[in-house]
Structures are given as structure tokens and as C-alpha cells.
Structure 1
Amino acid sequence: MMEQVERKTWKKRFEFLKDPKFFKVLILGQVLSLCITGTNVTTTKLGMSYDFAAPTTQTFLKKRLIFPDSASLTVIYNSYAIYKRGIRGWLLQFRRRALYYFILGAIDVEGNYFVVKAYQYTSLLSAMLLNCWSTPVCMILSFFFMKIRYRWVQYVGVLIALGGMGMLIASDIMEGKNYAALDAVKGDLFCLLGATLYGFSNVGEELMARKHPIYEVIGMFTFFATIINFVQLMILERNEFASLSSNPEAVGLVIVYTVCMCVLYSLAPVMFRLGSAVLYNLSLLTSNFYGLIFGIGLFGYHITIMYPFAYCVIILGIGIYHIFPTPEPAIGTFDKETAVRERAELMHGRQQLPESSTTTSDLEQQQQQNDVDEVVSEQVTISK
């Protein structure tokens, strides 16, 4: 009798393998990992072939997507927010949450800057190891700020996934890829600081994505990040930015980098809703495996037997993380009820605006209709 109960319990523990949400999270995580791979490959190519090392310039360009119509993440998502909420609704969300998004954008910009800068000073091995620090940072912050209570199996899954990352690093050592450090202490401190800021940025973005529409989160977040990036670029990297236009091939690589980061920043909030910031960081651990595949043709890398095993170990760690039901944050996630509550809070602030030719009741009716359309469209997008 006891055996049947225990067998049934273990069967339930693996029911996540039948859950479409698990595979959505798994596939989405690998798409994001491929985007990170694209940024890593283009950054490496720019440094090796064109001696171009300008982390702020690259980060600025990723916030301002280079398409023929000069579109950008900031323009796209804020324009959509104005379409959904009207100019008054957009100004109200700007007024009520601008400070938070400004801090979030600043954290992300500086996190990107210090991580990219760290590769100029520390060894490849140290940078790869220290970048893993963002995962435990996410777990610690999620524990305190979103009241997530992890089970022991989640910790085991994270350790196994990080162990797979360790196998990738060991393989790189065997291949002699660990270049010497110019200033190890400075580079390691940069990398630790950048990874810590990444953790804060990821958890902060997850927190907002679970409370507000995705178009608001990305639009407001990138609005401030673009401004901060531009100011920092003009102060620190004016010469690199000016010389970039004289090298068409380098411009092409930066465009690829930009497209990858645009996709990454558009899909990351969806990942935060379906999964979490922790799963986001675990999924990105496989980027080194994809980087090797591209590196074979571009940089003459050689594959070792440890790489496919390490990839499987990382995926196994992500699977083990799901054996027990993954912990949900106390704040819940964005659904119809959350959207209605968020809209009500916005409308409460709207009543404080000056009177205009449009009546408050008309605005409320329009916003309620937009609310229904917004929830339906977001649920359809996530289900796909």
C-alpha cells in the first residue's frame, strides 16, 4: 500500500513533463540563450577583428534598434502604450512609476557596462565563473522581495545546472581558451558588480512584468535606459562611436548585436511571467554551448566531448528544478484580475488630472474597453 502511494507521488512529481507550460519555458529560454550567443559572438568578433571595445556604444545601440525606418524599442513600445491607453494614460503611468523605471534602467545599463568591461581585464575563466553569480543573486532577491519559498529540489536543480556550466569551463581550459588577465582584481570586481546588477535588474523587471502590461515595462524601462546610455556614451566613448561609421563590416556586426538584444529584451518579460528570473538565468547557461557551434566556423574552435554532456546536464538541472511545482511569487502573476486592478489604480490617478474637453466618464469607458482588449491580446501572445 505504501509503495503504491509513494509511486503515485513520484508520478505526480514528473507530471510537469506533460505540462505545455514547461516546454514553453524551456524553448523560450533557449531562444533567449541563442540571442545572448549572438551578442557574445559579435562582441568577440568586433574585438578580435576590428579592435572595437565600446560596451556603452553597443548597449546604447541595442536600446535603439537600427532598422531602415529608424525604429527602436523605446519608440515601438511607448507608441503602442499610447495607442492602448491614450496620451493621458501614458503620461499617468510615466508620472506614477517613472522613478522606479529610471532606477531599473540605470541598473541594467551599468550591469551591461561592467560585465563587458570586465572581459578586457580578467581571464575568460574568471569572467565565466563570476557571471554565474547572477543566478544566486536572483534567488536571494526573489526570496526577500517576492516571498518565493524554494524547495530543496529547486536548489539541487540550480546546483546541477551550474555544475554543467563548470563542465563547459573545464572544457575551455582543456582547449587553452583562458587568455591571460591584464588586471585580474579589477576585472573580477567589475564582473562581480555587473553580475550583481544583472540579478537586481532581472528581479526588478520580473516584479514589474507580474504587475503591469509588458508594453509598459519594456517601453518605460528602455526609455530611461536609452537616455542614460546616450549620456554615458558621449562622456566615455565618443571616439569609439565616431570611428564606428568608417567600418561597414563592424557596423554590420553591431546591427546583428542590436537585433539579438532587441529580441532578448522583448521576450525576457514573457519569460519572467511564465517562469522566473532564476529560470531566465539558468537558461542562459547554455549560451556557451551555442557559442561553440558558431565559434567552430568563425574562430576555429574545437569541440570536446564535455560540451554535449555539459549541455545535457544544464537542461537536466532545469528539469529537476520543475520536479516539484515551481514556487510562485506571493504577488502572483499578470492575469485578468491583475490587469483590472492595475487599470483601477491608473484610473484613480487619472481623476487627479486637470479637466479637459473629454469627460472623465468617457475616458473611463475607453480605458475599460482597452483593458479587455489588452488582457485578451497578452493572453493570446503568451499562449503561443
Structure 2
Amino acid sequence: IHILKTLALGQVLSLFICGTAVASQYLAEQYKVNTPMLQSFINYCLLLLVYTTTLAFRRGSDSLLQILKRKWWKYILLALVDVEANYTIVKAYQYTTLTSVQLLDCFGIPVLMALSWFILRARYRLLHFIAVAVCLLGVGTMVGADILAGRQNSEGSDVVVGDVLVLLGASLYAISNVSEEYIVKNLSRVEFLGMVGLFGTIISGLQLAIVEHSDIAHIQWNWKIVLLFVAFALCMFGLYSFMPVVIKVTSATSVNLGILTADLYSLFFGLFLFGYKFSGLYLLSFGIIMVGFILYCSTPTQTAEEAATSLPQPASIGFDNLGLKIEENHQETPAATVQFTKEENVRVNTG
């Protein structure tokens, strides 16, 4: 039941990601609108309105003011990582191919596992590594299907720059996800979303003014473009709001494995919206990713503390056990009786 629940939750996240991808692609292809920072800015504003406002009405140590006093600089760094992760991945599409982005984006999973090992003290079993390998095989199958269907797009203007941006973005996402898992499991979901919403709005707003002001000025606004921006913002807001819930019951690694299917959902929508060619390999890749994800979730990971307590206890006798041992030995020795003779000699019988 837990595996099915995890599977379902992961696919809900994939559908949210699919919604953001389809809205972005429709804006780019139909209306020539490429404004990833503006789209992220709207999402951070929604987080600010909902979750930062909720923190503002709290009292005590969990209030907005108290959190800012203690941890403001930590959340600035986290928001910066989150904003740049979103920006670099989207920016990479301008320089490299869709195939490269899909393949290299998976680099975030081993980075995430390594960070979880050292920061969250997660301990993996052999089955977990096999499951990750199976999921990555599924991604490879999906990329192969893209190439056969002629969906790999052009070579890009500068493939090396694009590939580096993807690797950087994947690593930043891994850092953000591990931080999110720590905060959600040890502090609160509202604190994470409220702080990211507050500082994410400020950082993305500044970056928007610097790098995208001319692109926004050239947008020919109409109700369809507005509707696409609203759809993107709502899907992204849903993703940010729902992901901490899923991470709390699973882990950041399993969530990232589960959302590998997002590209496939985008493809299925693309069959109708963008005239993509279908290949049976897409269904095969979906099946492989699902098998890997179920394998990963079938065996829970342990923390370092749990792993230590599950080890067999040493056979040495501690102080407490030593006292019990002496008492046992004392009970096993035969009782001694003392008799006095007339000559006042002492004779001891142990029989």
C-alpha cells in the first residue's frame, strides 16, 4: 500500500511538471515568448502571498520575525540556489538539444544521493543503486525514442555551454531538494515555502529586472498568453506546495526518481498539441522507469543512527552485566558451614 501511495504521489508531481513544460513550450513555439524568470517570479509571488503571510500571522518561536532573526542568511542562500536552478535548466534549452537536457538532467540523482549520504546521513542498500540504474536505463530508452522520432531538435547554438548549464542546474536542484527534505522533516513545510517565497520573490524580481526587461517589453499580450502564464504559475505553485508533502512521507531521492516520467507525460500532450511522432519505445521507457521506482521504494533507506543500532551488540560484559554475573556465580557456589570443636579449632565443611 505504501509503494502504491508513493507511486501515485510521484505521478501527481510529474503531472504538475508536465503542465509547466507544456505551458512554457506553447508560449515559446506559438507566441515566441521566452521569459523563464518572469514565470518563476509569478510562482514565488504566489508562495509569498500564501505561505509567508501564514508565517506572518504566527506567534512565538515559529513566527516570521523569529525565523528571520535566527536563519535569514541561510534562507537567502537556499532561495538563491532554488531560483538559479530553475533559471539555468530553462536557459540550457537555448544552447543545447532536448536530448542532452534529458540525459544530463539525471546527473542530479547521484548528486542528490551523495548529499543525502553526508548531510541527511541516509544509508542505501544494493537494491537502491540497482533501482536508480534501472530508472536511468528508462531515461536512456526515452532519449533513444526521441532520436528515432526525430524529436532531438537542432544541435543548439553552443552545446558545451548548454551541457554545463544543465549539469549546474541539476546540481543546484539536488542541493535545494536535500535542504527541503531536512527542513520539512525537522522544522515545517510552511517555514520552507514561506522563506523560499519571500527571498525567491526578491531575488527573481531583481534578476528579472536585469536580464528579461527587454523580452517582457516585446510581448504582444492577449488573453491566451495571459492564460498560459496563469496555467504555468498554478502548476508551479501546485508543484512547490505538494512536493514537501511527498518528500515528508518518502525522500528527496525517491521523489526525483518518480518525476522522471514528467517528460513522457509532456510527450503524450505533445502528440496532440505539437504533432510529435509516437514510438512504442516511449511506453517501454515509462514501464522501465516505473519498475525502477517501485524497486527503490520497496526497501526503505536507513539513517546512520538506525544502521548503528541494528548491528549485533558486542559480547563483552559491561559493568551492569558484570554485577549480574558475579551474583549468578555466587548463587552457584556451595554453601559453607562452620563448626567449633572442644579444642576451639575451626573446621570448615563445604558439603
Cα distance, 1:312 vs structure 2 = 1.2
Q: Distance in 1 between matches of 2:196 and 2:277?
A: 39
Q: Distance in 1 between matches of 2:59 and 2:258?
A: 34
- Report the counterpart of residue 235 of structure 1 in structure 2: 210
Q: Distance in 1 between matches of 2:91 and 2:297?
A: 35
Cα distance, 1:88 vs structure 2 = 8.2
Contact 1:146 1:330 in 2 (8 A): no
Cα distance, 1:230 vs structure 2 = 0.1
- Report the counterpart of residue 138 of structure 1 in structure 2: 112
Cα distance, 1:330 vs structure 2 = 5.5
Cα distance, 1:250 vs structure 2 = 1.7
Contact 1:58 1:254 in 2 (8 A): yes
Structure 1 residue identity aligned to 2:274: F
SS in structure 1 of the partner of residue 95 of structure 2: coil
Q: Distance in 2 between matches of 1:204 and 1:128?
A: 24
4+ runs deviating over 6 angstroms:
none
- Report the counterpart of residue 248 of structure 2 in structure 1: 273
Instruction: Provide closer, same or farther for how the CA distance between residues 251 and 244 of structure 1 changes in structure 2, counting only shifts above 3 A.
Output: farther
Rg larger in 1 or in 2? Answer: 2
Residue in structure 1 matching 2:157, options 182, 202, 227 = 182
- Report the counterpart of residue 48 of structure 2 in structure 1: 74
- Report the counterpart of residue 225 of structure 1 in structure 2: 200
Q: Distance in 2 between matches of 1:108 and 1:244?
A: 26
Instruction: Provide closer, same or farther for how the CA distance between residues 311 and 330 of structure 1 changes in structure 2, counting only shifts above 3 A.
Output: farther
Aligned ranges for residues 1-384 of structure 1 at < 5 Å? 20-64=1-45, 72-85=46-59, 89-180=63-154, 181-244=156-219, 246-328=221-303
Q: Distance in 2 between matches of 1:330 and 1:99?
A: 29
Cα distance, 1:81 vs structure 2 = 2.2
Percent sequence identity over matched residues?
38
Structure 2 residue identity aligned to 1:99: W
Structure 2 residue identity aligned to 1:161: C
Structure 2 residue identity aligned to 1:58: Q
Instruction: Provide closer, same or farther for how the CA distance between residues 124 and 229 of structure 1 changes in structure 2, counting only shifts above 3 A.
Output: same
- What is the alpha-carbon root mean square deviation over aligned residues? 1.7
Q: How many residues align?
A: 305
Q: Distance in 1 between matches of 2:128 and 2:221?
A: 50
- Report the counterpart of residue 326 of structure 2 in structure 1: none
Q: Distance in 2 between matches of 1:228 and 1:206?
A: 22
Instruction: Provide closer, same or farther for how the CA distance between residues 87 and 279 of structure 1 changes in structure 2, counting only shifts above 3 A.
Output: closer
Please give the TM-score of this superposition, normalised by the length of structure 1. 0.76
Cα distance, 1:86 vs structure 2 = 6.0
Unaligned 5+ residue runs, structure 1? 1-19, 65-71, 332-384
SS in structure 1 of the partner of residue 63 of structure 2: helix
C-alpha distance after superposition, 1:92-124 (max 9, x if no partner): 012112211111110010111110000011011
Q: Distance in 1 between matches of 2:271 and 2:304?
A: 41
Q: Distance in 2 between matches of 1:265 and 1:143?
A: 24
